[in-house]
Amino acid sequence: MSSYGTLIFFCGKMGAGKSTLSVSIARERGAVLLSEDDWLATLFPGEINDFNDYISYSSRLKPLLRKHVEQILLAGTTVVLDFPGNTRKQRAWFKDIYSQRGISHELYYVMAEDEVCLKQLKQR
């Protein structure tokens, strides 16, 4: 058994509660929480205006964070990534982080009805 940390990530609809769950898990596990929304808002304030902007900036952020996350995991600290994992391509990014070194990982699928998601999106 390695002394690496565990990579935790999420899949689910927008507004399903993934970010809320990520905060809770990070707190419970004493893990480092990294939120894509926080990083993008801090690094590129006011520059993300549509989905294409998001894709462009997110793809610029991920190579840097990939190395950073791997270093934290190899140091033995669990990392909770509040990044979307809804598509195969998004999940492949997570897999690239954990698979090369045999790092343990957990994928949480957050289920919520459409009405709940829409209500929570309106509250943001």
Question: Tens digit of pLDDT for each residue in 34-82?
Answer: 999 999 999 999 999 999 999 999 999 999 899 999 999 999 999 999 9
Compute the mean pLDDT over every residue in the chain, rounded to the nearest whole number: 91
Write the CATH number of the domain with boundaries 7-123.
3.40.50.300
Model pTM score: 0.87
Give me the pLDDT at residue 78, please. 98
Q: How many CA atoms lie less than 13 Å away from 64 in the CB half-sphere?
A: 10
Read off the pLDDT of residues 81-117 as tens digits, 9 standing for 90 and up.
Answer: 999 888 888 889 999 999 989 999 999 998 878 787 7
In this prediction, residue 2 has a pLDDT band, given cuts at 50, 70 and 90, of low
The conformational region for residue 30 under phi > 0 = left, psi -120 to 50 = alpha, else beta, is left
Instruction: For residue 44, give the 3-state DSSP assignment.
Output: coil
Distance of CA 108 to the CA centre of its chain: 11
Domain boundaries, the chain: 7-123
